[in-house]
Structure 1
Amino acid sequence: MTDNIAQFAELHQPGQPLILYNIWDAGSAQVAVRAGAKAVATGSLSVAGAQGFEDGEKLPFEFALTNAKHIVSAVDVPVSIDLETGYGADATAVGENARQMKDAGVAGLNLEDQDLSAGGLRDVSEQAERVKAAADTGLFINARTDLFIQTPLTDHDDALAQKALERCQAYADAGAGSFFIPFAADEKLIGDICEKASLPVNIMRMPDSPSISRLAELGVARISYGPGPWMAAMTAFEAEALKIFRNQA
C-alpha cells in the first residue's frame, strides 16, 4: 500500500505532468489503463452521474467507497478518488473517511475547499485542518481550491493568483501532496503559480485551456479532465440511442 502511494506521488513531476483522463467506475478505469494511463482518478460529478445522483456529495459515501473498492480491484495502477469536501462536518470525520478510502486500497484523494452547505470557500485555517486530517492517514492529498471557479473570469488576475498561493502554502503545511486549481486557464497566471507554488500544480484541461505540451512548459505537474470524459461518453451514448429509438418503423 505504501509503495502504491509513493509511486503515485513520484508521478507528479513539474514539466512532465501526470495525465489523468478521469474515470468513473471499474470499467472506465480498465479502458484508461489499456490506453496507457499510469494512474487513474475519478471525478465526483462523473461518479455521481453514473449512479443517477447530482454532484455535491449527493452520492452516499458508502456508494463512493464501494465504487473505489471496485476500481482498485480492477486495475494495477494507483487510484485517486475525488472525495469532494471529504463527506465530513469536521476534520475528524474527514480523517475517518480518508482512512476508509486508504483501507480500500486508494493511493490518493482530491479534497476541495468549498463549503457545500454555506456556499463560498472555507476559511483557510479550517480547510487546512481538514487537509491535515486526510493527509495524516498517509494518503496523497490533491488539495483543491475553488477560487478560480467561484471568481468571475474577468477577475482572474495576479491578486487572485496570490490568494491561491496563500492557500497552497497552508495546504502544503498541512501535508498535501499537490495543489489543484480548476478553471485556471490563463497561461501567465498558471506559469506564475507553478513557479511560486510550494506544491506540484494540477490543472484541469478544458476547451479554452493551453495544450498539454504548453502546460508542461509552464511547469504543471498534473493534468486532469474532470467530468469531460464521462460527459463525452454520455453524449455519444445518447446520440446513438436517439438514432435507434427515433428510427423505429
Structure 2
Amino acid sequence: MVSHSTVERAQRLTQLHAQHKPLVLPTVWDVWSARTAVASGYPALTVGSHPLADSRGADDNEGQTFEEVLAAVKPIIAAVDVPVSVDLEAGYGQRPADLVAGLIEVGGVGLNIEDTVHSEGGRVRSTQEHASYVAGLRTAADDAGVPVWVNGRTDLFMHAQDASAVLDEAIERLRALEEAGADSLYPVGIQDADDLLTAVVGAVTVPVNATAHPVRHDLERFRRLGVGRITYGPLLQFAMADAMKDMLKRWAP
C-alpha cells in the first residue's frame, strides 16, 4: 500500500520543477547532510550514488547492491519532510518494476537512471535499450499510482574523447528518453560547455539537468542557458572535503 505522503511528495517534486527555473537539488549522502540542506531552505533533495558510496566506504558504479542502497537511503528520506530523489545508477540489474517498487517502499519519489551498466563491465546501453528501460520505469510508477520523477541520464558525452562529436547521437538518445517518459534529461559531462548545453536544451522539451559545483559555477549562467534542473553529483561533498582539509591542516601535527 503506497502511503498518501509519498504520493504528495511526488506531486510536490513535479510542482517544484515547474516553479523553479532551474530547480537546484542539493546532492546529499546521509541524514546530517540532508537535514543541513533542508535547514538552508532547499525544498527538495537528491541522494547521489558517488557521495553515498564514499560515506559508506563502498565503491561508486554499483559497488553496492540495490538492497544496500535502499537500506542506506531509507533513514535519509525519513529524516526530512521534503521530496527526495535517489540516484539508482543503471538499476543494479533490477527489472524496472522492482526498482520502482523498492524506491517507493522507502519513500523515494524520484530517480536517476544512467546508460552505463557498471555491473556488466561498464558497457553502454543502446539508445533503444535505455529508452525501453525508462519506459518500464514510467509504466511501473504509473501502475503504482506514484508520479515518480524519472531523470534519464546519458553518459555518451563523458565517454567520448570529443564531446561535440557525439552531440547528434546524444540528442537522439535524449529525445528517445523523453518519448519513453523521462521527466527530465541528464547529459553528464557538458556542464562547462555552453554550446553543447544550449544545443541539448533546444532539442528537447523537458528540463535538462546539469551537474554543478556549489562554489565554482554560476547559477545565473545556467539559468541563461535554459538549464531546468541542477544537481551536484559528488561535487558538494568534494567541496566540503576541501573546506574541511583547510580547517584541519591549521592544527595538523
Give the TM-score band, short-chain normalised. Answer: 0.7 to 0.9
8 Å CA contact 2:213–2:236 kept in 1: the answer is no
State the 1:97 CA deviation.
Answer: 2.0
Question: Can you list the C-alpha shifts for 1:94-118, whole angstroms capped at 9, x where unaligned?
Answer: 3202211112111100000112123
d(CA) in 2 for partners of 1:28, 1:72? 12
State the 1:222 CA deviation.
Answer: 0.2
Report whether the alignment pairs 1:121 with 2:124: yes
d(CA) in 1 for partners of 2:61, 2:138? 22
State the 1:120 CA deviation.
Answer: 3.9
8 Å CA contact 1:179–1:200 kept in 2: the answer is yes
30-39 or 1-10, which deviates more? 1-10
Aligned to 1:217: 224
Aligned to 1:134: 137
Report whether the alignment pairs 1:109 with 2:116: no
Identity over the aligned pairs, expressed in percent? 33
Aligned to 1:179: 185
Equivalent of 2:202 in 195, 200, 208: 195
1:26-175 to 2 correspondences below 5 Å: 26-88=31-93, 93-116=95-118, 117-138=120-141, 139-152=148-161, 155-157=162-164, 159-175=165-181
State the 1:238 CA deviation.
Answer: 4.7
Extract unaligned runs of 5+ from structure 1. Answer: none
d(CA) in 2 for partners of 1:236, 1:53? 23
8 Å CA contact 1:99–1:134 kept in 2: the answer is no
State the 1:3 CA deviation.
Answer: 2.4
SS of the aligned residue for 2:124 comes to coil
Extract unaligned runs of 5+ from structure 2. Answer: 1-5, 142-147
TM-score scaled to structure 1, two decimals?
0.88
Question: Can you list the C-alpha shifts for 1:173-218, whole angstroms capped at 9, x where unaligned?
Answer: 2211100012112112211211221321001114998621111111
Supply the AA of the counterpart residue of 1:137. Answer: A
SS of the aligned residue for 2:77 comes to helix
State the 1:32 CA deviation.
Answer: 0.4
SS of the aligned residue for 2:159 comes to coil
8 Å CA contact 2:85–2:110 kept in 1: the answer is yes
SS of the aligned residue for 1:149 comes to helix
State the 1:137 CA deviation.
Answer: 2.9
d(CA) in 2 for partners of 1:140, 1:82? 11
How many residue pairs were aligned?
240
Question: Can you list the C-alpha shifts for 1:105-155, whole angstroms capped at 9, x where unaligned?
Answer: 111000001121233421111111211222223221100000111012xx2
SS of the aligned residue for 1:11 comes to helix
